[in-house]
Amino acid sequence: MSKRNNLLIFILTIGAFGIINTEMGVIGILPYIADHFHISISKAGWLVSLFALTVSITGPTMPLLFSGMNRKKAMLLVLGIFVLGNIGSIFTSNFAIAIVARVIPAIFHPIYFSAAFTMAANSVRKEEAPKAVSKVFIGVSAGMVLGVPIASFLASTVSFQLSMSFFAIVNAIVFIATLVFFPSMPVKERLSYGAQLSVLKKPIAWLSIVAVILLNSAVFGVYSFLAEYLKTVTNASGQTISLMLVIFGGANIIGNIVAGKLLTKDAIKTVVSFPFALGVVYIILFLFGQFTLPMAIITLVWGILAGIGGNINQYWITSAAPEAPDFANGLFLSSVNLGTTFGTAVGGLFISELGTQYVVLVGLLSLVLGLAFIMLRNYRNTPTKQLSR
């Protein structure tokens, strides 16, 4: 049974890797997207923010609507739609069509990840759930360590269309792997819509949602413009930018591994410490980001913390609603993507008004506000043992 669970989690991890290529891969090619469609870098950022906004809207609802569907069939549906969306993006020269080709897959995105996180957590003992979920998060990081920099490299050396082809090929491979290796997973016990929605009556749930929105805004409000930052502030070449993105993604994988251990050992301490640690990194980034070597070190540490942050966000919401894990994971997806939308939009505003270097401010402001909501949840729900898994 243990080997079967390991295979299941591995397939979920590969699936997460495939989908995150489509969602986050464009971060590494925003400058090239802007050139291809003859638009500003801020407008090109819509491909990130609108995707994330769509997921934030459909995050809670789509897992509810598909909660009774065989999970293998649901995942194949999602992966198939992503492949078609990728293919549409390859052949269009119209920015509006490119947006549509991303928004439609984004609608179905939450179905896959909600099921993946829930199944990973249910495959092990309750106290080991953060470690199992952290393995699925490795797929997200792998999407960054491979997908984002490879897309950036392909766009800088060949063309924008080849980068989009890479997204399509990866999702097609994952579709086939899921079809062949994933076991049929019919839903045996389905909670009513009312039972799942009732978690929204709990103040702890809303405090957790707002905190996660702000924490993800802190990470992706800055990271979404990393390629632009490296290009204009650090004055890095296209190849150096690709390498930096590899460093960030590889560090994310380290962060995911560390996060599973930290959350299992002392979840509350890990969550509270996170805003302070990332805040220090952003201050150093603001001061020394124009230098290539310090920027490489900053990117490494930043990537580790970002990997830890993704796991913290998932834990913080699901621990507030353990009675409805699928819906809680949907809320997690909605919250993090709303945070990405907010952070990217505000980051673009800072860039337009103050310059690329000042995008760091959205991260610092989001961390301060996020810490406030973390402490408010802790204050309202003492003793902290109530929050432990």
Domain definitions of the chain by residue range: 2-387
Closest Cα partner for 133 from 116, 145, 146? 116
Lowest mean pLDDT among 83-87, 115-119, 281-285, 312-316: 115-119
Mean pLDDT of 364-377: 94
Whether residue 14 contacts residue 139, with contact meaning beta carbons closer than 8 Å, is answered with yes
pLDDT tops 50 at residue 64: yes
Number of alpha carbons in the 13 Å side-chain half-sphere of residue 117: 28
Radius of gyration of the chain (CA): 19
**pTM score:** 0.76
Whether residue 18 contacts residue 82, with contact meaning beta carbons closer than 8 Å, is answered with yes
Whether residue 143 contacts residue 252, with contact meaning beta carbons closer than 8 Å, is answered with no
- Which pLDDT band, with edges at 50, 70 and 90, does 281 fall under? very high
The answer regarding whether domain 2-387 maps to CATH 2.70.210.12 reads no
pLDDT at site 124: 73
Strands (E) in the chain, as ranges, are none
